[in-house]
Structure 1
């Protein structure tokens, strides 16, 4: 495992890499048609969930100093509600975006200092036990990724796919 500059990220680095693996594995074999299905008109579709996963990655990248804009920002920024009247990208496009942004974020996570992790990052939560700083924003992003992978995993099963396999790719270094 790569060693981060900040020991405070010892738990974040494996989580980030694990989420990268889970993201790809939970999408394995899902067709584009199924990725656009909603359950009884009440759920988001998988494309929306994947887009939101990526929106988290782009937000994290920006907080870490990457000046990259999500190419699908207009569809997914800050969990924008699903709109069935809009054309969403394909899984293939979203996976390509994932492979572009993820290694860049991973390298930034390895390089960030304790001082930079402590920098204020206002989120407007105003919760007394939750300091609004870069470190806690990173943690929130990791949590959101967990949530979205879980939703996609449930949708996989509802749509008749096998459960996600944990066949991690040892060569994926982000």
Structure 2
């Protein structure tokens, strides 16, 4: 799919790589290991994966899509891990990831520069970051990078092979 939105030409390939990386990040991790924390101090992989999914739903909202994360109460605003909470499985999170991701991808291809320039206050008060939808797209990509790095580290700590960068050509979003 070709985009006519020049301001997103750098973002769309990163978005697609992240879509691919979700599968690679959680590949072969069993559900028991996915809930392990290191010395009770780290987040577990399910929390990280859930935050990735929530980030995609948040981006959908920023871009004007109505779909809501069914697990929002666990992850909204990068809510801290609650050791007493019951978290969804990696399988359920993967299904949500692949439900919302193509919708956001489509929107990234159709959103106009005018829409991207729309104000989107996020309350961080960073003088050099204009609070608009375009910068929210960039912040989402940055958040995803961070979470994939955490999952990659947890894979190694839990004695799984490092995350691969294999591409599944059937995933076109």
Q: TM-score range by the shorter chain?
A: over 0.9
Work out the number of aligned pairs and report it: 173
1:50-61 matches, within 5 Å, as 50-61=49-60
Q: Deviations over 1:27-52 (max 9, x none)?
A: 10000000000001010000000010
**Structure-2 residue corresponding to 1:155:** 154
**Structure-2 residue corresponding to 1:117:** 116
SS of residue in 2 equivalent to 1:32: coil
1:4-153 matches, within 5 Å, as 4-153=3-152
**How much has 1:151 moved relative to structure 2?**
0.2
The 1-side partners of 2:97 and 2:77 are apart by 17
The 1-side partners of 2:69 and 2:4 are apart by 27
Q: CA RMSD in A?
A: 0.7
The 2-side partners of 1:127 and 1:155 are apart by 31
The 2-side partners of 1:171 and 1:86 are apart by 35
Q: Deviations over 1:112-135 (max 9, x none)?
A: 000000000001112111100000
Task: Give the TM-score normalised by structure 2.
Answer: 0.98
The 1-side partners of 2:159 and 2:58 are apart by 32
The 2-side partners of 1:78 and 1:88 are apart by 16
Structure 1's unaligned 5+ residue stretches are none
The 2-side partners of 1:42 and 1:51 are apart by 18
Runs of 4+ in structure 1 deviating by more than 6 angstroms, as ranges, are: none
Structure 2's unaligned 5+ residue stretches are none
Task: Give the TM-score normalised by structure 1.
Answer: 0.98
State whether residues 5 and 112 of structure 1, in contact with CA within 8 Å, keep that contact through their aligned partners in structure 2.
no
